[in-house]
Amino acid sequence: MLRIAVFITIIFALCSKELKADILSATLDYHSGRYQAAFNEFNRLAVLGNTDAIYNLGVMHLHGQGVKQDLPKAYAWFSIAVEFGLTEARASLDKVRENYHTPSDLDKAYKQLSRSFNYEMYSEQLKPIFRQERFVAQEHTPPRRTLTVTPKYPEQAYKKGIEGWVWLEFDIDVSGTVKNISILDSYPSKLFTRPILNAVSRWKYEPYKLNDKPKEYPQRSVIFHFTTVKGKRYKQSFFRQQRQYQNKINELIEGAEQGNAVIQYYVSNWLMADEYNATQLLRAHWPDKGASFDLLLESSMNNFPNAQYQLGANLLRGEYAKRDRRKGLNWILHAAQGGFAPAQYRLGKELLKENDLEYDKKKAETWLQTAAEQGHFRALKDISALLFEDLLQESRFLHYLDLAKEIDDDHPELLLLESKYMVRKNDRKRAKRLAKDAIDEAEYREWNPQPYEAYLGTL
């Protein structure tokens, strides 16, 4: 029988978004007799190192559920599960060996499977090495924030004791100004979006330097937590809602332990902060400081794209985990394949780095286009710039440029790109006007205007 028992389905408000297949949904499919769906889901999860899925593939081969009965393959999957540290699989492994008439077939099946998938491969390609302490010196030090504007807490949310967080990414120009802000995820959805955008656009950073030369710092990732715990009224609101909070916390704990990938991801984000009312109750169950990262990994292994991208980005930067570009890109690839537009965009940008072994302009263009088709603004902007370089792609360039302008018609980088296009069309008068507009808009947004001024000087 499956290692995981039948579960009672719990409906959570935070799971209203479309769920990706995780160990919970795959197990429910199994117990509902939807063996083919369960088998396919377990296969996807096994590649991510999910030990329950690996073991369950052995069970399904053993009983011929969703696949032709094949005891040697069952033995092979049980053997891989043991490699991954699932000691319970040893009994199943030994049972098959005791009752199968040709042991050499079992060893052959195991060797064949291990050539394409084994624990050593997983360790090399995906397994992160988390730091023992969260606040240790990082391998990569991001720019230091010199000015923080605190987002205004929505009054109604504050009165009701509603807490949440916003995960965003942005670029930092050479002067330390924030630009190109994008929201990756938030909870509750959109409640805190406007306050955080208004605040972060005014943040300032110490200019970033690489080899003593000022450089733009791309894709700074921040999770900003909105919590009432420091407010004067939080104790009253928390006291009134404590029973409701505790009931919710119990549901979250149960859902995370059952293998609900979305819940594991959300709990991970809550545990990254110390000041949530919810966090204080969650820590009673997960007191270890590394619990947030363990849950993030579990959610990633459970095939939730948001978690996979967050984990991959951490690995690229060496934040909270040992820096590993290969593993970071592999997790981001899984997130991109899962349809997460920020991951598709990030993968495209990483593949455009000419000094890296993974450089592949054609694949980069494909991923940027995939993200752009989902309306991802930065992808629309960057695919436009990429297509502009190819004289044969004019119609596609204009298509994506127009889509980007529908989102931000006065974006300085788009105005600059349009100006360059006008030069190509021999309309230098309009090109100059657009360049001046780009300078004005950059100054209005408090961006560094020097690149636009330098370009205008060439016209």
Residue count of the chain, please give it: 459
Residue 54 has pLDDT above 70, yes or no: yes
**Are the CB atoms for 379 and 387 separated by under 8 Å?**
no
For 74-88, the pLDDT digits (tens) are 999 999 999 999 998
- pLDDT band at 210; cut points 50, 70, 90: confident
For 165-189, the pLDDT digits (tens) are 899 999 999 999 999 999 999 988 8
Mean model confidence pLDDT for the chain: 87
- Pairing status of strand 217-226 against strand 145-147: unpaired
Average pLDDT over residues 358-369: 93
Residue 242 has pLDDT above 60, yes or no: yes
Reference 180, options 430, 388, 412; nearest CA is 412
pLDDT of residue 275: 67
pLDDT of residue 9: 26
Worst-scoring range by mean pLDDT, 258-272, 300-314, 359-373, 440-454?
258-272
Residue 10 has pLDDT above 60, yes or no: no
Residue 217 has pLDDT above 50, yes or no: yes
Residue 245 has pLDDT above 90, yes or no: no
Q: Which residues of 299-334 are buried (b: 16+ CB within 10 A; e: fewer)?
A: bbbbbbbbbbbbbbbbbbbbbbbebbbebbbbbbbb
Q: Higher pLDDT residue, 198 or 283?
A: 198
145-305 has the same fold as 13-125: no
% of residues, the chain, pLDDT over 90 = 63
% of residues, the chain, pLDDT over 70 = 88
Worst-scoring range by mean pLDDT, 122-136, 248-262, 418-432?
122-136
Q: Higher pLDDT residue, 453 or 257?
A: 453
Domain ranges of the chain: 13-125, 145-305
Chain centroid, CA 359 distance in Å: 21
- pLDDT band at 254; cut points 50, 70, 90: confident
Whole-model pTM: value is: 0.86
**HEC secondary structure over the chain:** CCCCCCCCCCCCHHHCCCCCCCHHHHHHHHHCCCHHHHHHHHHHHHHCCCHHHHHHHHHHHHHCCCCCCCHHHHHHHHHHHHHCCCCCHHHHHHHHHHHCCCHHHHHHHHHHHHHHCCHHHHHHHCCCCECCCCCCCCCCCCCCEEECCCCCCCHHHHHCCCCEEEEEEEEECCCCEEEEEEEEEEECCCCCHHHHHHHHCCCEECCCEECCEECCEEEEEEEEEECCCCCCCHHHHHHHHHHHHHHHHHHHHHHHHHCCHHHHHHHHHHHCCCCCHHHHHHCCCCCCCCHHHHHHHHHHHCCCHHHHHHHHHHHHHCCCECCCHHHHHHHHHHHHHCCCHHHHHHHHHHCCCCCCCCCCHHHHHHHHHHHHCCCCHHHHHHHHHHHHCCHHHHHHHHHHHHHHHHHCCCCHHHHHHHHHHHHHCCCHHHHHHHHHHHHHHHHHCCCCCHHHHHHHCCC
Range 13-125 classified under CATH 1.25.40.10:
yes
pLDDT of residue 137: 43
CATH architecture label of 145-305: 2-Layer Sandwich (3.30)
Structure tokens at 10: 């719990």
Average pLDDT over residues 298-324: 91
